[in-house]
Amino acid sequence: MKPSQALNRPLIYHVGDSSNVYDDEEVIIRRLGFRIGNLGLLIAQRAVSELSDIPQICQLPFTTSWLLGLINLRGNLVPVFDLFNLLQFQIDKKKKTKLLILDQGEAAGAIIINELPEHLSFSINDELGSLPPLPDVIQPYTTSGYEKNNQLWFNFEHLAFFKSLSTKLKT
């Protein structure tokens, strides 16, 4: 395999022997996930993500409380969203908050988190047959989910979600 192919392949691999015949139950899916309250969200497989301390946020007057403002990230203005506020979850003020930046350039959006993202591995057996009810504002952007160690994790379509939030701001 060429190095470029190895670097660009998805983070899915098969456990077991080295033969070319694999059982679907052996597929392992690796993702990076973060929590907003008790809601576990998985970052899209090829999405760029960055974790940082919270820089100075420029507040925008006359906006909703879940839009904290904008930050300047390498010359790009990035909106900062408080999903705890939007989803009406309590944030643990004892924990240090961080900024999780998803994507880059004009597509970037930032989310306040208070737990470090986790590296997670799921097998096909962990996949949920159907999704439980989720908050209306996020339900359309959680396409599938997994259960691991009695915790639920949902694939999160962050780009479409950020776009929906920008639409909410216009109304």
What is the per-residue pLDDT across 109-155, written as a single tens digit (0 to 9) for each? Answer: 999 999 999 999 999 899 999 999 999 999 999 989 999 999 999 99
CB neighbours of residue 82 within 10 Å:
18
Cα dist from 39 to 24, 154, 163, whole Å = 27, 8, 20
- Write down the pLDDT at residue 8: 59
User: H-helix or E-strand containing 61?
Assistant: none
- Write down the pLDDT at residue 22: 45
> Which domains, ranges and CATH numbers included, belong to the chain?
11-170 (2.40.50.180)
Separation of CA 53 from chain center:
17
* Structural tokens at position 160: 């479409």
Cα dist from 120 to 4, 33, 151, whole Å = 24, 7, 11
What is the per-residue pLDDT across 14-46, written as a single tens digit (0 to 9) for each? Answer: 444 444 444 545 678 899 999 999 899 999 888
* 29 residue type, one letter: I
CB neighbours of residue 39 within 10 Å:
19
Segment 153-171 mean pLDDT: 88
β-pairing verdict for 39-42 and 151-156: parallel
pTM for the complete prediction?
Answer: 0.79
Segment 5-18 mean pLDDT: 52
Annotate 106-139 with b (16+ C-beta within 10 A) or e (fewer): eebbbbbbbeebeebebeeebeeeeeeebeebbe
What is the per-residue pLDDT across 96-111, written as a single tens digit (0 to 9) for each? Answer: 899 999 999 889 999 9
* Structural tokens at position 33: 């996930």
What is the per-residue pLDDT across 44-86, written as a single tens digit (0 to 9) for each? Answer: 888 999 999 999 999 999 999 999 999 999 999 999 999 999 9
Contacts of residue 129, Cβ cutoff 8 Å, sequence gap at least 6: none
